[in-house]
Chains A and B, each alone.
Chain A
Amino acid sequence: MLKVISANRAIAESVRLSKPKVVPVYPITPQTSISEYLAQFVADGDLSAEYIKVESEHSAMSAAIGASATGIRVFTATASQGLALMHEMLFSAAGLRNPIVMGNANRALSAPLSIWNDQQDSISERDTGWLQFYAENAQEALDFVLQAYKISENEKVLLPSMVCVDGFILTHTVEPVDVPSQEEVDEFLPEYKPKHSYLDPEDPMSLGTFTDPNYYMEARYAMEVAMQASKDVIRSVNKDFAEKFGREYGFIENYMCDDAEIILVAMGSICGTVKDAIDTLREQGQKIGLLKIIAFRPFPKDEIYETVKNAHRIAVLDKNISFGIGGVLFNEIKAKMDVDIRGFILGLGGRDVSPEDIKKIVDITKTSTESDKINWIGLKEEEI
């Protein structure tokens, strides 16, 4: 059923349809309406879940871990400072192999305080063992939550997933979204039945034990094996999803890359702007393409390389910065493949990115001779 809703509403609808049994959640801008919609669903009996009104994001993730450890489906959501406050618990959730799904409304990190969008928050959690999916629009937000449960709960994976939506740009912007029926979702995503350890007095187990140097590394190795195994699971879930709902996704999206001389690489809502700019540039005869990253973890290096290998040059757009080295996506791609590459930092703290900025990036990419340079787009020279 087509509804005109925000990405936050789309995530809430997706959670309602996924039927988690426990939802510990703490409000934070711009995630807040997710926590409000879910509270209302529970209050109205539209979602039969235990909604835990926790006192912080740290406790939201802690309660999610405890709940998930009993072998049930769990959801939570956060943003920015909240995600940073959860940082320690993100490692625990992944290490305990809890298939939690979390929505993250991408927002800049303080200081200075900003409630507006960039992707520094989730990018900074890339090493915690979570799968990360970035949505371009509200439909993808809804679809990715449904798929994230099926991927995370697969016994070959058992790692948590984060579905990222750009703060305000997606979380507070309404657009038409196809909200599937409960019957359709039930067929795609049946109730979670864990096969491994969970807290049950009938079969006592100890979880989260103390581990000396004889055993720790193997637990970490098992997580890497699971992260690699998640690639096949993602492919298969994408396929099931396309068959059921008619929308096809992959690790990446290829927008006019096949004959492109310059390929831009980006993730999240900015891809809409980039596609618009490309349409204009193509009309002018410029062969430009966009490679949209959907899955940032596991990192789809093969899919990226297959798509960009024939391009003359690629330009990576990062709404984050690892100080001293530049954009994280730029550096990861640069490290993984032999390509002629340029990196751009843009959109930090909600700085608007226009189609003109994209055209400027294309121009710089064509003429730039320095591949290591960190190119800042949209900086106000007079404020520096």
Chain B
Amino acid sequence: MEIPEQEFLAPGHRGCAGCGATVAVRLALKMLGPNTVAVSSTGCLEVITSQYPETAWEIPWIHVAFENAAAVASGVERALKSQGKDDVNVVAFAGDGGTADIGFQALSGAMERGHNIIYICYDNEAYMNTGVQRSGATPYGASTTTSPAGKKSFGEDKPKKNLPMIMAAHGVPYVATASISYPEDFMKKVKKAGETEGPAYIHVHQPCTTGWGYDPSKTIELGRLAVDTGAWILYEIVDGEFKVTYRPLQRKPVNEYLNAQKRFKHLADEEKEKIQNYVNQVCAELKI
């Protein structure tokens, strides 16, 4: 696949070394191109890319608040439509907190109304901007500052909220999961999302060096490990048709993924086994 050289998210932003969120945005914008307006929720991405008087955004960009990226994008999309600018892509970038938790109502409303927007959730599985507090997308067993491991706790005690499936239940014509570590798969999905008439939702998994606790050089490797162990699955749902877009040749044990991260370091074998069993069950259903 041909990847455009032009960048629309400039370097020099304030992201951590090894930041996965900015990789997701760079790749997505390469597919969407300059005729795009971006909306960001409050979060890491907004803070690291927009510190006044500088900006990393080479396309028009707006941030309003934490919980309303989808609603703001709704307004932008209809306003452009009212001016006959239907050809402009409107993309929203929001983190997992801004999507699964505080922004969920606005997202549900926008998707149900069928706005022609592309909503990309960059999922690092906790509130990383404020120092690793759990979100609805934090996985089972992960230790965060608000779901800490302790004498009486093994960390987060609930599984990850399944946002892509909730979006599919809204009848969103294009829903996909992706990973920054499988850039071609992700970019193809962004392209499809851009070509979709009506709303599109992409949930892109991106490791976070500070929140997950690993060496910044390993971001891409760790994202790949999530997919290769079946802890994160790449699929798309086109007009209700479900399709797995990548199947690892041989699925690796989930421990390889868990043991590479500080947030799972405390887990007893028993909990790790529970996670492996859960992954096995999901993968069996999907023939992975």
Contacts and interface: CB of A to CB of B under 8 A. Distances in A.
A, B in one complex:
yes
A247 B36 CA distance: 45
Contacts of B110: 59
B77 to A, nearest CB: 8
Contacts of A204: 57-61
A207 B71 contact: no
B106 A206 contact: no
Interface string B55-92: 10111111111011001111110111111000010000
Nearest to A207: B62
B25 interface: no
A210 B51 contact: yes
B53 interface: yes
B105 A55 contact: yes
Nearest to B66: A88
B128 interface: no
A56 B79 contact: no
B243 interface: no
B109 interface: yes
Nearest to A72: B79
Contacts of B254: none
B147 interface: no
B275 to A, nearest CB: 35
Contact of A200 (B46, B60, B81, B113): B60
B82 A50 contact: yes
B35 interface: yes
A66 B106 contact: no
What is the size category of the interface that chain A forms with chain B? 35 or more
Given A62-B68, A201-B60, A53 B113 contact: yes
Nearest to A58: B68
Contacts of A96: 64
Interface centre among A49, A68, A205, A212, by most chain B C-beta atoms within 10 angstroms, is: A205
A227 interface: no
Nearest to B113: A53
A11 B53 CA distance: 40
B92 to A, nearest CB: 10
A179 B80 CA distance: 30
Contacts of A24: 74-75, 78
Interface in A41-100: 49-50, 52-56, 58-59, 62-70, 72, 74, 88-89, 92, 96
A240 B36 CA distance: 40
Interface in A155-172: none
A55 B62 contact: no
Interface string B39-52: 10000001100111
B108 to A, nearest CB: 7
Interface residues of B, number: 43
B55 A206 contact: yes
A216 B211 CA distance: 29
B60 A64 contact: no
B83 A205 contact: no
Interface centre among B52, B57, B71, by most chain A C-beta atoms within 10 angstroms, is: B71
Interface centre among A65, A70, A210, by most chain B C-beta atoms within 10 angstroms, is: A70
Contacts of A22: 75, 78-79, 82
A181 to B, nearest CB: 24
Given A70-B83, A210-B50, A63 B75 contact: yes
Contacts of B83: 21, 70, 72
A74 B65 CA distance: 19
B69 to A, nearest CB: 9
Nearest to B39: A66
B74 A66 contact: yes
B34 interface: yes
A257 to B, nearest CB: 43
A64 B50 CA distance: 22
Nearest to A70: B79
A203 B88 CA distance: 13
Interface string A207-232: 11111100100000000000000000
B193 interface: no
B37 interface: yes
A318 to B, nearest CB: 31
B61 A66 contact: no
B82 A72 contact: yes
Contact of A63 (B60, B63, B74, B81): B74
A205 B63 CA distance: 11
A185 interface: no
A26 to B, nearest CB: 10
By Cβ-Cβ distance, the 8 closest A-B pairs, closest first, are A66-B75, A55-B109, A63-B75, A62-B71, A67-B79, A59-B71, A67-B75, A66-B72
Interface of B: 34-37, 39, 46-47, 50-53, 55, 57-65, 67-68, 71-76, 78-83, 88, 105-106, 108-110, 112-113
Given A54-B71, A66-B71, 16 more contacts: A24-B74, A64-B75, A65-B64, A66-B72, A66-B74, A67-B76, A67-B79, A201-B37, A203-B60, A205-B61, A207-B60, A207-B61, A208-B50, A209-B50, A210-B47, A211-B52
19 contacts: A21-B82, A50-B79, A50-B81, A54-B71, A63-B75, A66-B64, A66-B73, A67-B75, A70-B80, A72-B83, A89-B65, A199-B61, A201-B59, A201-B88, A203-B60, A205-B61, A208-B62, A210-B51, A215-B53
